[in-house]
Structure 1
Amino acid sequence: MNRNLKVYVFLLVLILIGIILVDASRPKPINWTPTFALNDKIPFGLYIFGQESEKLFSNQKVTKHSNTPYEYFYDKYDYEDSTYTVKGDILFINDEFTIDKNSVDELFYYASRGNDVFISSSSFSKNLKDTLGFEIETSSIFMDSFALKVYNKNLNPKDYYYSKGVSTKYFSKIDTTTTVVLGHQSSTKENLTNFIKIPYKSGNFYLHTQPIVFTNYYMLKNKNHEYVEQITSYLNQDKIYWFVKSYNSGQLNQSPMRYILSQASLRWAWYISLISILIFIVFNAKRKQRVIPIIEPLRNTTVDFTKTIGNLYYQEGNHKNIIDKKIIYFLEKTRNEYLIETTELDATFINRFQQKSGNKKEEIAELVQLINQLKRKETCNESDIVTLNLAIEKLNQKKDK
């Protein structure tokens, strides 16, 4: 390692250490991004709910899945009995319910077989809204906080207050003949429906517009975890299939660089370091790049070989030998291309050749007659070679057209 390179490396390491020390000495800003990711410990992640889910559903078995409903239930459907081989409630918690259409259809099939689907999201897919007959709107009245409450008297309902990150979405249209209102969100000016139950064939859909209540921030704030216990109490089957967000946005990154990339300062320091090293390599390599020798491509000796063989035959002057080889080559080519027997060059051969090649029968007959004549001759001259070659080429040209 030369002296200049050592200086560059030393300065780069010094800058990186300085950035790390500065970043470590200042208070870390709180990340309020609503990720709804199972392993995120930031305020709006679902780490605490994920850890407490076993206690919350103590009498039920909770299974977390990172694939889509269609992928999970595809091989669990018995086509002979038109039933699923598994049974249980489905749980979705996300800021947006944006799964693929096949998975939404799978949810309908699954619910129609006597299962319940619980979805807590601030937005829902169009085909889900159209099929279940509801609409979502955003409240036009500004509110800095909401009181959320369920209607079920058996749950000892009371108001639970939420402010930061709360959605203003609510159910603006429902089918009142079938839909059951289970809860609302209220302010000083209005009451809005935010929790409903929609029967679907033999099952039910429980829809909730405030997924923020499941996040770490509110699970630890006051007694708001009681509200989560109340709304999830409707999931009462023995098994719960929780489809986590990882199939949309991925769970915790397992890369060794995940901590550096998760911190803005360290991330930019890492990018600057990589760019600096790349610039150094480019400029340093450009100065020291060795001369690339010119390598001549290999010559194509096929033409030379052909000329040599041609001159050999020409000097030997054995025209009969050349004619015999051209006849053998022509007959071999005819057998391979048209699958015609060439043992006897008679009328049968002419008819089959004409049918398969599409050439004129007269031209084929002339060539056959010429071949038979040349075979019988003991000596041939240059004119015979030219005549035979022209006759064969004439048939080949007709075939190519």
Structure 2
Amino acid sequence: MSKTLKIYVGLLILLFVGIIAIEFSTPAPINWQKTYNETQKIPYGTFVFYEELTNLFPESKVQEIKVTPYEYFDDYYNWEDSTYLTTGTYIVVDEYPDLDNTSAQELLDFASHGNDIFISSNYFPDRLLDSLGFDTKNEFTFKGKAEFTFTNPVFKSDSISVEKGLNNIYFSKIDTLNTTVLGHQKFDDATYTNFIEVPWGSGYFYLHVQPVVFTNYHLLKKDNRKYASSVLSYLSDDTLYFDSRNKFRKELGSSPMRFVLSRPALRWAWYIALLTTILFMIFNAKRRQRIVNVKEPLKNTTVDFTKTIGNLYYETKDHDNLIEKKITYFLEYIRRVYYLDTQILDDKFVKNLSLKSGKDKEYIKKLINQIVYLKAKSNCNEANLLQLNKAIEDFYTT
């Protein structure tokens, strides 16, 4: 190896080492995604909130729920005397919790036996909306920071101001005869309800519409933890059932066969069916006729091209662009099929679309609210895209 070549090789190695050193010394970018995951220490995780539960409730046991509320509490229901074999408080903090109407009914039953339910979320199942007599609304004129206060004068000093990560949602309707307003949120000069207590049977529902105040970012900022502490002070000092955000990824899995494989009888039936199919294929593999020449038809590359373009947008993480296109194509479909003007997406539009499409008005309202919310939102994430895509596909197929 010549001297010149050795110099070039040495410079190349130094350059390579320098690049590696710079790469490892560069701090990782902050993840601002709203995961509400109790195991994550990112700004919008709930690690601090989950860890502080044992300090706020020193006499209570914290039990993680890694299945749906229906699956968990139904196992504790005694059908002989119609009672639950456990007591406590169910807690979930998430913008879009995994609560369907079946789980919502289970929570109603659990509360009726003298237990508490705490839900801090932007959207609630229809079963809760109907049973507890409340509704929520998005007000997209809200800007800037908001002041969160309590109606109880004891907690007057626990009010806080929040600016980052807020949602423009509030309780637009409540059952004034049975519901107690516990807190408000104030944007500029407008004050709206954001925290209520609703009795149900022998228990209570505590409903809150700003889950962002329980994230790491806000709990560690100034004295914001005092607000969370005051909110949770309404809950009884009993076992806390914390709804984990990791249920599907860790224990249940995402396989559509998870229910079949979780039951011994169904699991063995599935294995026997697979074995029978394999044996059938082996013993019928012998050809029964002469080989027929296969003529390949002309390949239609339109679908492949569409998939390639779609994957390109998806891989580049350009979620805002994809969401904009999904909304644009969906609104064009509404104009073309139902002959509706999509310039103003208000309650009148929701009513007309529900009448023309024959779909449930509440379902249409939730879909349109989601579209309006995402049109106004910047820096959408993958979860927003998947939720919008599912909602639109459900509209097409149901």
Q: Residues 24, 73 of structure 1: CA spacing in aligned structure 2 closer, same or farther, 3 A cutoff?
A: same
Secondary structure, aligned partner of 1:54:
helix
Deviations, residues 196-230 of structure 1 (Å, cap 9, x unaligned): 01111221110000111111111110000000000
Q: Distance in 1 between matches of 2:105 and 2:161?
A: 35
1:50 offset after TM fit, Å? 1.6
1:23 offset after TM fit, Å? 3.4
Match of 1:199 in 2: 199
Match of 1:220 in 2: 220
Secondary structure, aligned partner of 1:184:
strand
Deviations, residues 229-260 of structure 1 (Å, cap 9, x unaligned): 00001111321111122225659x9xxxxxxx
Match of 1:101 in 2: 101
Deviations, residues 165-212 of structure 1 (Å, cap 9, x unaligned): 111110011111111100000122200100001111221110000111
Partner letter of residue 169 of structure 2? K
Question: Residue 134 in 1 paired to residue 134 in 2?
Answer: yes
| 1:42–1:216 CA contact under 8 A, matched in 2 | yes
Question: Residue 152 in 1 paired to residue 152 in 2?
Answer: yes
What TM-score do the two structures reach when normalised by structure 1?
0.56
Mapping of residues 299-314 of structure 1, within 5 Å = none
Match of 1:26 in 2: 26
Q: Residues 18, 160 of structure 1: CA spacing in aligned structure 2 closer, same or farther, 3 A cutoff?
A: same
Mapping of residues 165-180 of structure 1, within 5 Å = 165-180=165-180
What TM-score do the two structures reach when normalised by structure 2?
0.57
Question: Residue 87 in 1 paired to residue 83 in 2?
Answer: no
Q: Distance in 2 between matches of 1:147 and 1:36?
A: 22
Residues paired across the two proteins, number: 244
Q: Distance in 1 between matches of 2:245 and 2:14?
A: 40
Q: Distance in 2 between matches of 1:14 and 1:102?
A: 62
Partner letter of residue 180 of structure 2? V
Match of 1:115 in 2: 115
Q: Residues 27, 131 of structure 1: CA spacing in aligned structure 2 closer, same or farther, 3 A cutoff?
A: same
1:15 offset after TM fit, Å? 12
Partner letter of residue 123 of structure 2? S
1:57 offset after TM fit, Å? 1.2
1:156 offset after TM fit, Å? 4.3
1:140 offset after TM fit, Å? 3.0
Match of 1:188 in 2: 188
Secondary structure, aligned partner of 1:28:
coil
Aligned CA RMSD, in angstroms, stands at 2.8
Match of 2:161 in 1: 161
Q: Residues 48, 183 of structure 1: CA spacing in aligned structure 2 closer, same or farther, 3 A cutoff?
A: same
Q: Residues 175, 19 of structure 1: CA spacing in aligned structure 2 closer, same or farther, 3 A cutoff?
A: farther
Mapping of residues 2-401 of structure 1, within 5 Å = 21-247=21-247
Deviations, residues 269-292 of structure 1 (Å, cap 9, x unaligned): xxxxxxxxxxxxxxxxxxxxxxxx
Match of 1:323 in 2: none
Q: Distance in 1 between matches of 2:238 and 2:59?
A: 7
1:97 offset after TM fit, Å? 2.8
| 2:142–2:187 CA contact under 8 A, matched in 1 | no
Deviations, residues 349-380 of structure 1 (Å, cap 9, x unaligned): xxxxxxxxxxxxxxxxxxxxxxxxxxxxxxxx
Q: Residues 25, 79 of structure 1: CA spacing in aligned structure 2 closer, same or farther, 3 A cutoff?
A: same
Secondary structure, aligned partner of 2:110:
helix
Secondary structure, aligned partner of 2:75:
helix
Match of 2:296 in 1: none
Partner letter of residue 63 of structure 1? Q
Secondary structure, aligned partner of 1:90:
strand
Secondary structure, aligned partner of 1:92:
strand
Partner letter of residue 90 of structure 1? Y
Deviations, residues 107-158 of structure 1 (Å, cap 9, x unaligned): 0110111111000011112222122111111123231111111112233444
Q: Residues 102, 44 of structure 1: CA spacing in aligned structure 2 closer, same or farther, 3 A cutoff?
A: same
Q: Distance in 2 between matches of 1:153 and 1:135?
A: 26
Identity %: 41
Q: Residues 237, 54 of structure 1: CA spacing in aligned structure 2 closer, same or farther, 3 A cutoff?
A: closer
1:86 offset after TM fit, Å? 0.3
Deviations, residues 61-115 of structure 1 (Å, cap 9, x unaligned): 2212211111111221111111000011111111113323221111011011111
Q: Distance in 1 between matches of 2:222 and 2:87?
A: 35
| 1:120–1:210 CA contact under 8 A, matched in 2 | yes
Secondary structure, aligned partner of 1:129:
helix
Q: Distance in 2 between matches of 1:299 and 1:63?
A: 60
Q: Where does structure 1 lack aligned partners over 5 or more consecutive residues?
A: 1-12, 254-296, 301-401
Secondary structure, aligned partner of 1:63:
strand
| 2:158–2:230 CA contact under 8 A, matched in 1 | no
Q: Distance in 1 between matches of 2:193 and 2:227?
A: 15
Q: Where does structure 2 lack aligned partners over 5 or more consecutive residues?
A: 1-12, 254-284, 289-398
Q: Residues 153, 26 of structure 1: CA spacing in aligned structure 2 closer, same or farther, 3 A cutoff?
A: same
Q: Residues 19, 202 of structure 1: CA spacing in aligned structure 2 closer, same or farther, 3 A cutoff?
A: farther
Q: Distance in 2 between matches of 1:90 and 1:103?
A: 12
| 1:151–1:157 CA contact under 8 A, matched in 2 | no
Q: Distance in 1 between matches of 2:189 and 2:113?
A: 41
